[in-house]
Amino acid sequence: MERLLHCRRLQSRSEPVRVWEHFQFSMFSLLVLMCFGDKFHNKIREIQDVVERLLSKFSRVGMESQDDKFGSSYIDKLLDLHLPDDENRKLDDDELVGLCSEFLNGGTHASTSTLQWVMTNLVKHQHVQEKLFMEIKRVLKDGAELVNEDDLQKIPYLKAVILEGLRKHPLGPFLMPYSTAEDVDFNGCKLPRNVTVYSVSGDMGMDPKVWEDPSIFRPERFGISHGNGEVVDNDITGKREIKIMPFGAGRRSCSGHDLAMLHLEYFVGNLVWCFEWKEMDGEAIDMEPNYNHAHTFFFFLER
């Protein structure tokens, strides 16, 4: 939330803000907090700059000896972990560094990129932003400054907005490449052992046979149903059916899926609740999928 307050101060200077850097820093800060607890809260910028070097020199002893107001962090859990299939041994330093690095780097880029696409669409489609604001207003108590975690599940339209962002703007055209450990018959297609398989999943959300008017940003397609305001999930994890797979599918799908959805709902909810987001005069927003959408300027007004 520190970053939102920072945005309020920036806004008072009436200057455009390059939001990407703020989104990225906020997301990274949150993941550092979850990963290491609050011991490094005033050093996050340094960690961001030297994350790989810091992780490779990471000292367990120093971490274990300090108090942590944040409670149990990811690294605490990893340090406590015993691997039952491997003589109950603990993780070694290389494994710890690999897991923390994956957590910080994977989580930051993916969530920031999605956050930026969602905000870009809210700027482009003001009626969606307005509807989302009114939905948040309906749920929040009078005078509430922020959207809290408990409020999120009462705002189904917020989740629908994020899902629509993920449908239109997947992280990339492919999922991770996998290799076959043995000969496989995949729906009649014979794959020999030791071949690399790429899943081309990026276009699924734009398939007109599955999605009506796929190029239109319309969160309502993740519709409110059952008359109780609940959003139909459309099963983006692929457990029932597969219509899009922004987090992959199956055993190796994104292990940060629930966390990412929570972070995105929390960030988008608060950004829309606190500020009104607008396109800059003379700065057309680039909607092309270049998978490196780092230069967008938005204009926002404090609500």
Instruction: Confirm or reject binding of residue 269 to ligand HEM (CB under 6 A).
Output: no
Binding segment for ligand HEM (CB under 6 A), chosen from 103-111, 138-146, 185-193, 208-216, is 103-111
Number of H helices, E strands in the chain: 11, 9
Instruction: Confirm or reject binding of residue 175 to ligand HEM (CB under 6 A).
Output: yes
Instruction: Confirm or reject binding of residue 102 to ligand HEM (CB under 6 A).
Output: yes
Q: What's the CA gap between 264 and 258, in Å, rounded?
A: 10
Between 32 and 140, CB nearer to ligand HEM = 32
Instruction: Confirm or reject binding of residue 202 to ligand HEM (CB under 6 A).
Output: no
In whole angstroms, the minimum distance from the beta carbon of 114 to ligand HEM comes to 4
Q: Pseudo-torsion of CA 48, 54, 59, 64, nearest 10°?
A: 0
Q: Is 214 exposed, middle or buried (0-12, 13-18, 19+ CB in 10 A)?
A: middle
Instruction: Confirm or reject binding of residue 176 to ligand HEM (CB under 6 A).
Output: yes
Residue 109: both structure tokens together: 């880029």
Please report the beta strands in the chain, taking only residues with DSSP state E, as ranges in sequence order: 17-18, 178-179, 184-186, 189-191, 196-197, 224-225, 230-231, 275-278, 297-302
Instruction: Confirm or reject binding of residue 171 to ligand HEM (CB under 6 A).
Output: yes
In whole angstroms, the minimum distance from the beta carbon of 229 to ligand HEM comes to 24
Judged by CB under 6 A, the chain residues 220 through 249 that form the site for ligand HEM are 246-248
Q: What's the CA gap between 26 and 222, in Å, rounded?
A: 27
* Site residues (vs ligand HEM, CB under 6 A): 31, 102-103, 106-107, 110-111, 114, 171, 175-176, 246-248, 252-256, 259-260
